[in-house]
């Protein structure tokens, strides 16, 4: 367990012989003790004992003199094994999510040709037409937003989004149809979101509309663009549509666009589903740690 900032981090040692560095202590115990210490860390328990002006720390007496309530050995073993199995489920679910995200990255690279590549590395077997050479500005157009956070109300007819989430409502909307929003200011410039129609975004975002291309295809195409190449500004970075819209792209014909867009949309739904299961398991564990240990 760490005894210097961050205080209270715990891990199970898998080795028979180890050398501990400064700021770490060794505590002998079973799985129950490990999860007990983990529950204390989650509740910021050690903060009350921490001291130090440069960095927080606790001493050995704080740990040795800690009074805790524990059940008998049989119940300790049962609780420890139960939480260990839950950890294993969380790890397996986390691997599923990671695998799907890696799969998506791989398909994005193969179904959307990179700069300098004249063909898709992967295509659906029913399509073999030549790809079309276009600029981003040929297949999309932008719409700026002048909505500030202070303009947004708690109540209203139409949702308004910031870079992460729904933040309120207005009685008007910026786009009747579904659209893509892209972060144009700040550290996450270039991150894109698919938004439903009759909604709005705040001024740190920009709206991208499709022009003669499938919306989903365009959305995933934008995810495969390195917007860092178009960043301007030393303080708060910016990207401008007038710059990145000049980018040359190879795109398939409309039917293939639609199929590619639907493929990635389905893959995203699978990722969201598995991520939701992972979040649920983590919340379960958090609840058990709060309720099984006093």
pLDDT at 117: 61
Using the predicted structure, report yes or no on whether residue 15 has a pLDDT greater than 90.
no
Distance, in Å, from the CA atom of 60 to the CA atom of 118, rounded to the nearest integer, reads 65
pLDDT at 5: 86
Distance, in Å, from the CA atom of 168 to the CA atom of 147, rounded to the nearest integer, reads 12
pLDDT band at 285 (very low <50, low <70, confident <90, very high): very high
User: Residues near 279 by Cβ (< 8 Å), separated by ≥ 6?
Assistant: none
What pLDDT digit, counting tens, does each position of 128-143 carry? 788 889 999 999 999 9
Using the predicted structure, report yes or no on whether residue 233 has a pLDDT greater than 90.
no
Global pTM value: 0.83
Averaged pLDDT for residues 268-281 = 98
Averaged pLDDT for residues 200-217 = 96
Give the CA distances from residue 255 to residues 87, 119, 131, in Å, rounded to whole numbers and listed in that order.
Answer: 44, 17, 12
Distance, in Å, from the CA atom of 247 to the CA atom of 250, rounded to the nearest integer, reads 10
Distance, in Å, from the CA atom of 88 to the CA atom of 142, rounded to the nearest integer, reads 46
Using the predicted structure, report yes or no on whether residue 212 has a pLDDT greater than 70.
yes
Q: Which residue has the higher pLDDT, 62 or 147?
A: 147
pLDDT at 142: 97
Using the predicted structure, report yes or no on whether residue 291 has a pLDDT greater than 70.
yes
Indicate the SS3 state at residue 272.
helix
pLDDT at 256: 93
What mean pLDDT value characterizes the chain? 92
What pLDDT digit, counting tens, does each position of 112-169 carry? 866 666 566 677 777 878 888 999 999 999 999 999 999 999 999 999 999 989 999 9
Using the predicted structure, report yes or no on whether residue 111 has a pLDDT greater than 90.
no
Domains and CATH numbers, the chain: 1-68 (no CATH), 72-111+253-294 (1.10.287.1120), 132-251 (3.90.220.20)
Distance, in Å, from the CA atom of 8 to the CA atom of 42, rounded to the nearest integer, reads 9
What pLDDT digit, counting tens, does each position of 76-95 carry? 999 999 999 999 999 999 99
Indicate the SS3 state at residue 136.
helix
Using the predicted structure, report yes or no on whether residue 191 has a pLDDT greater than 80.
yes
pLDDT at 195: 96
Using the predicted structure, report yes or no on whether residue 105 has a pLDDT greater than 90.
yes
């Amino acid at each position: 367990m760490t005894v210097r900032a961050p205080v209270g981090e715990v891990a199970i040692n898998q080795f028979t012989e180890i050398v501990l560095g400064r700021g770490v202590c060794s505590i002998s115990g079973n799985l129950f003790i490990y999860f007990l210490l983990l529950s204390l860390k989650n509740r910021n328990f050690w903060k009350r004992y921490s001291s130090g002006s440069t960095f927080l720390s606790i001493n050995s007496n704080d740990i040795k003199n800690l009074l805790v309530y524990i059940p008998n050995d049989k119940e300790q073993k049962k609780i420890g094994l139960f939480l260990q199995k839950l950890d294993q489920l969380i790890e397996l679910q986390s691997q599923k999510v990671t695998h799907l995200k890696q799969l998506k990255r791989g398909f994005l690279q193969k179904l959307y040709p990179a700069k300098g590549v004249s063909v898709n590395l992967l295509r659906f077997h029913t399509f073999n037409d030549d790809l079309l050479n276009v600029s981003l500005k040929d297949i999309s157009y932008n719409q700026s937003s002048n909505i500030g956070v202070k303009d947004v109300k708690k109540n209203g007819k139409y949702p308004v989004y910031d870079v992460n989430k729904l933040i309120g409502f207005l009685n008007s909307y910026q786009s009747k149809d579904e659209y893509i929003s892209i972060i144009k200011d700040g550290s996450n410039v270039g991150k894109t979101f698919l938004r439903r129609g009759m909604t709005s975004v705040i001024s740190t975002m920009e709206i991208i509309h499709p022009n003669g291309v499938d919306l989903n295809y365009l959305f995933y195409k934008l995810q495969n663009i390195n917007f860092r190449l178009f960043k301007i500004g030393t303080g708060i970075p910016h990207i401008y549509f007038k710059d990145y819209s000049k980018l040359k792209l190879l795109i398939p014909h409309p039917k293939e666009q639609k199929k590619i867009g639907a493929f990635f949309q389905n893959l995203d739904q699978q990722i969201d589903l598995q991520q939701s299961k992972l979040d649920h398991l983590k919340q379960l564990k958090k609840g058990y740690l709060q309720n099984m240990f006093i």
